[in-house]
């Protein structure tokens, strides 16, 4: 833990103004390299014989570079992660009553994709240390109607993919065989799992390049990775109206300007993650011993990207006291903290109405105890120290 002298020194600095948001609006950093790549792509498109499309270079180059980065056979660029998740669920051709198990502690996107494809959401519990979908709970909730296991790589760290895949194999669907694992890696671009990158395991993985994420393609964008040729063909086709597979489709393409910038961001991604990890470890040391706060847990099989620095407050600080801590950090120090996430059925009525009677009590408890404290690759060591000192100070005064 930070020494008393260091805490006092750190707290002498003025509060952050503007504040450090809990999830800063730019997840990585941008400089002239991205600007030049974008301008070059626009210049190239201003040739009337070339323009912006269709799937023009450097889109395929970006896809190949991303697939190589993840070690996957294919990568298909899309305009945002949301449509990628929709494609994943539509690929399953769900029939009424078909079930998809998705963690309740989740952003709204993945469960909404289940709903949009006509499936029945089944809420899975999480492991309270990792915040990842719990394979034992999935095992207990599989029925003959289960069509997919749909984990999210929560807050920047890999879900336990091998265990989830194994559960899916052990309970094959009567008609479709082993239950596929499809994952939402919107927050976890660049994370690692058992010597591989997130995006290698499971039937398909969906990434986001939204402005807040680990890397961004001009604020919006996404990628689907898969080793499966049919999935690749399906996604590539339905992102452009679906003619090749004679399926329903719409337009979900990425522009070549985005892809040009994506190539630059991808080259920087590991350095962004390295910076996030360094700050997270330093913060862990500075906060070690602060009894009311449970620090992030990183299993040895994972390389966490620390998209969010996700802590819990001790059980007796759940709810109102946690909320007071968040409010105090913001008001007194300009430090953003966020609850990512409460069970999605508590925040979106459409999801609650769709899943009557389904409760996941552990996830509800975690939703009252979670606190994700601002972290960003461009944060300085001094800023990180101020954040740790502020948290220690606020916690002590709330005791
Ligand atoms: C941001 C996010 C999404 C949505 O990504 P978009 O690219 O904005 O569509 C989906 N899932 C999770 C977990 C996210 O954090």
Q: What is the CATH number of the domain that holds 146?
A: 3.40.640.10
Residue-wise pLDDT for 284-339, tens only, equals 999 999 999 999 999 999 999 999 999 999 999 999 999 999 999 999 999 999 99
Q: How many angstroms separate the alpha carbon of residue 87 from the centre of ligand 1?
A: 14
Closest C-alpha among 230, 192, 190 to residue 27: 190
pTM summary value: 0.98
Q: How many CA atoms lie within 13 A of 155 on its CB side?
A: 28
3-state secondary structure 132-200: CECHHHHHHHCCCCEEEECCECHHHCCCCHHHHHHHHHHCCECCCECCCEEEECCCCCCCEECCEECCC
Q: Are residues 235 and 343 in the same domain?
A: no
CATH number of the domain that residue 20 is part of? 3.90.1150.10
Residue-wise pLDDT for 190-211, tens only, equals 999 999 999 999 999 999 999 9
Name all residues whose Cβ lies below 6 A of ligand 1. Answer: 80-82, 107, 109, 152, 184, 186-187, 208, 210, 222
Which of 24, 82, 102, 109 for mutating ligand 1's site (highest number of atoms within 8 Å of CB)? 109
Q: In what order do the strands lie in the sheet with 120-124?
A: 120-124, 99-103, 146-149
Q: Whose CA is nearest to atom 8 of ligand 1?
A: 210
Q: Are residues 127 and 38 in the same domain?
A: yes
Q: Which residues constitute the domain of residue 81?
A: 32-263
pLDDT-above-90 percentage for the chain: 99
Q: Are residues 220 and 297 in the same domain?
A: no
Q: How many angstroms separate the alpha carbon of residue 84 from the centre of ligand 1?
A: 10
Which of 187, 258, 348 for mutating ligand 1's site (highest number of atoms within 8 Å of CB)? 187
Pairing of strands 337-338, 370-373: antiparallel
Q: Whose CA is nearest to atom 2 of ligand 1?
A: 186
Which of 133, 186, 351 for mutating ligand 1's site (highest number of atoms within 8 Å of CB)? 186
pLDDT over 80 (residue 277): yes
Q: Are residues 38 and 76 in the same domain?
A: yes
Tally of structural domains, the chain: 2
How far apart are the C-alpha atoms of 398 and 10, rounded to whole Å? 19
Q: Are residues 10 and 84 in the same domain?
A: no
Q: What is the pLDDT of residue 99?
A: 98
Pairing of strands 146-149, 99-103: parallel
Atom of ligand 1 nearest to the CA of 220: 7
Q: How many angstroms separate the alpha carbon of residue 286 from the centre of ligand 1?
A: 31
How far apart are the C-alpha atoms of 88 and 206, rounded to whole Å? 8
Last residue of a domain, one of 240, 263, 286: 263
Q: Say whether 389 sits in a helix, a strand or coil.
A: helix
Which of 82, 87, 110, 191 for mutating ligand 1's site (highest number of atoms within 8 Å of CB)? 82
Radius of gyration of the chain (CA): 21
Q: What is the pLDDT of residue 55?
A: 84
**Tokens representing residue 238 in the block:** 């339905």
Q: What is the pLDDT of residue 291?
A: 97
Residues 6+ apart with CB under 8 A from 220: 79, 80, 209, 210, 211, 258
Q: Are residues 259 and 123 in the same domain?
A: yes
Last residue of a domain, one of 197, 230, 263: 263
Atom of ligand 1 nearest to the CA of 80: 7
Q: Whose CA is nearest to atom 14 of ligand 1?
A: 186
Distance from chain centroid for Cα 335: 21
Which of 84, 107, 153 for mutating ligand 1's site (highest number of atoms within 8 Å of CB)? 107
- Locate all alpha helices (DSSP H) within the chain, ordered by sequence: 4-10, 32-45, 59-70, 81-91, 109-116, 135-141, 161-170, 229-238, 256-287, 320-333, 344-347, 349-354, 361-369, 381-398
Q: Are residues 228 and 284 in the same domain?
A: no
Q: How many angstroms separate the alpha carbon of residue 107 from the centre of ligand 1?
A: 7
Q: Are residues 174 and 87 in the same domain?
A: yes
**Tokens representing residue 356 in the block:** 């009557």
Q: Are residues 93 and 223 in the same domain?
A: yes
Tell me the average pLDDT across 180-189. 98
Tell me the average pLDDT across 10-16. 97
Q: How many angstroms separate the alpha carbon of residue 393 from the centre of ligand 1?
A: 33
Q: Are residues 142 and 40 in the same domain?
A: yes
Residues 6+ apart with CB under 8 A from 48: none
What backbone torsions phi and psi does residue 22 show, to the nearest 5 degrees? Answer: -60, -45
Last residue of a domain, one of 236, 263, 290: 263
Task: Provide the 8-state DSSP code for 95.
Answer: P
Q: Are residues 284 and 364 in the same domain?
A: yes
Q: Are residues 20 and 99 in the same domain?
A: no
Q: What is the pLDDT of residue 166?
A: 98
pLDDT over 90 (residue 53): no
Closest C-alpha among 221, 239, 264, 254 to residue 57: 254
Q: In what order do the strands lie in the sheet with 196-197?
A: 196-197, 192-193, 302-303
Closest C-alpha among 231, 229, 230 to residue 205: 231
Q: Whose CA is nearest to atom 3 of ligand 1?
A: 186
Give the confidence band of 54 by pLDDT, cuts at 50, 70, 90: confident
Residue-wise pLDDT for 57-112, tens only, equals 999 999 999 999 999 999 999 999 999 999 999 999 999 999 999 999 999 999 99
Atom of ligand 1 nearest to the CA of 84: 9
pLDDT over 80 (residue 181): yes
């Amino acid at each position: 833990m930070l020494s008393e002298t260091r805490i006092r020194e750190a707290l002498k600095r003025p509060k952050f103004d503007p504040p450090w948001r809990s999830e800063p609006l730019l997840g990585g950093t941008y400089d002239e390299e991205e600007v030049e790549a974008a301008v070059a792509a626009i210049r190239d498109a201003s040739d009337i014989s070339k323009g912006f499309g269709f799937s023009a270079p450097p889109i395929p180059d970006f896809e190949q570079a991303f697939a190589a980065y993840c070690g996957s056979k294919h990568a298909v660029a899309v305009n945002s992660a949301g449509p990628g998740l929709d494609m994943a669920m539509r690929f399953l051709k769900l029939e009424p009553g078909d079930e998809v198990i998705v963690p309740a502690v989740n952003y709204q996107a993945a469960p909404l994709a289940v709903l949009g494809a006509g499936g029945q959401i089944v809420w899975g519990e999480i492991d309270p240390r990792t915040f990842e979908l719990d394979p034992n709970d999935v095992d207990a909730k599989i029925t003959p109607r289960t069509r997919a296991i749909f984990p999210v790589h929560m807050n920047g760290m890999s879900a336990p993919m091998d265990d989830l895949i194994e559960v899916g194999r052990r309970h094959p669907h009567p008609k479709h065989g082993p239950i596929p694992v499809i994952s939402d890696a919107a927050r976890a671009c660049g994370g690692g799992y058992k010597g591989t990158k997130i995006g290698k395991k499971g039937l398909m993985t969906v990434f986001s390049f939204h402005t807040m994420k680990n890397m961004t393609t001009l604020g919006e964008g996404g990628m689907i990775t898969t080793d499966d040729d049919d999935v690749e063909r399906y996604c590539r086709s339905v992102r452009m109206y679906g003619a090749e597979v004679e399926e329903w489709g719409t337009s979900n393409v990425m522009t070549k300007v985005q892809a040009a910038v994506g190539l630059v961001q991808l080259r920087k991604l590991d350095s962004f993650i390295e910076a996030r990890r360094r700050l997270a470890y330093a913060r862990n040391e500075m906060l070690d011993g602060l009894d009311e706060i449970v620090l992030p847990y990183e299993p040895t099989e994972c390389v966490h990207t620390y998209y969010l620095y996700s802590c819990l407050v001790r059980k007796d600080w759940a709810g109102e006291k946690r909320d007071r801590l968040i409010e105090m950090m913001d008001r007194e120090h300009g430090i953003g903290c966020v609850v990512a996430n409460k069970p999605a059925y508590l925040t979106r009525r459409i999801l609650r109405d769709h899943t009557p009677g389904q409760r996941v009590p552990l996830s509800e408890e975690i939703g009252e105890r979670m606190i994700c404290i601002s972290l960003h690759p461009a944060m300085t060591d001094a800023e990180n120290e101020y954040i740790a000192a502020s948290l220690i100070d606020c916690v002590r005064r709330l005791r």
